[in-house]
Amino acid sequence: MAAKKKSLNPKSFILNIVIAVLGIAVFVLFYMFITSTVTHKPVEWKTKTEGRTEQGEIIQLNVLNGCGVKGLAQKFTDYLRHRNFDVVESSNYKTFDVENSLVIDRMGNLENAEQVAYALGIAKEHVIQQINPDYHLHVSVIIGKDYNELKPMQE
């Protein structure tokens, strides 16, 4: 006796398609969660307070494009904000001939500037102090022509 093939009715076929689509959607969301957690993890800092001062206050800074590459200040701003720094301004520096990126302490707390420099991959010798209470922010970042060597460009 020949086995009779069982055919799917249209409702079962549609239900199987919906289940397959939902399975793929769950897989994609899970993959996005895992990759964003691994590739955009917060910056490790010796005090474990990434983006914050010792008192728990969020480090406020501005990012200035000193090399003239379009969209660079925004890329660095997004990178720092994702790591819990409060970027209050993102714009162009007064010139586009800055060779090495700089981190400038504006409030007299060099550790804040060093923490920002560490997050970006800027060497300590490029962290300076120019205290200016009129700026009302902790740190300024000036992106230089060495931007390709820094962490935001490695992602």
CATH code, 139: 3.30.70.2390
Q: Are residues 30 and 96 in the same domain?
A: no
- Residue 124 maps to a domain: yes
Q: Are residues 68 and 21 in the same domain?
A: no
Q: Are residues 72 and 18 in the same domain?
A: no
Neighbouring CB atoms inside 10 A of 5's CB total 5
The dihedral through the CA atoms of 30, 34, 39, 40 has a sign that is: positive
Tens digits of residue pLDDT in 92-141: 999 999 999 999 999 999 999 999 999 999 999 999 999 987 888 999 99
Q: What is the mean pLDDT of residues 80-94?
A: 95
Q: Are residues 94 and 129 in the same domain?
A: yes
Give the separation between CA 117 and CA 152, rounded to whole angstroms: 12
Q: What is the mean pLDDT of residues 16-44?
A: 78
pLDDT averaged over every residue in the chain: 85
- Residue 50 maps to a domain: no
Of the pLDDT bands very low, low, confident and very high (cuts 50, 70, 90), residue 11 is confident
Domain range for 15: 10-39
For the residues of the chain, what is the DSSP string, one character each? -PPPPPPPPHHHHHHHHHHHHHHHHHHHHHHHHHHHHHHTPPPP-TTS-TTB-TTSPBPEEEEEESS--TTHHHHHHHHHHHTT-EEEEEEE-S-S---S-EEEESSS-HHHHHHHHHHHT--GGGEEE---GGG-SSEEEEE-TTGGGSGGGG-
- Residue 45 maps to a domain: no
- Residue 44 maps to a domain: no
Q: Are residues 24 and 68 in the same domain?
A: no
- Residue 55 maps to a domain: no
How many domains does the chain contain in total? 2
The whole-model pTM stands at 0.67
Q: Are residues 64 and 122 in the same domain?
A: yes
pLDDT score recorded for residue 39: 58
Q: Are residues 103 and 34 in the same domain?
A: no
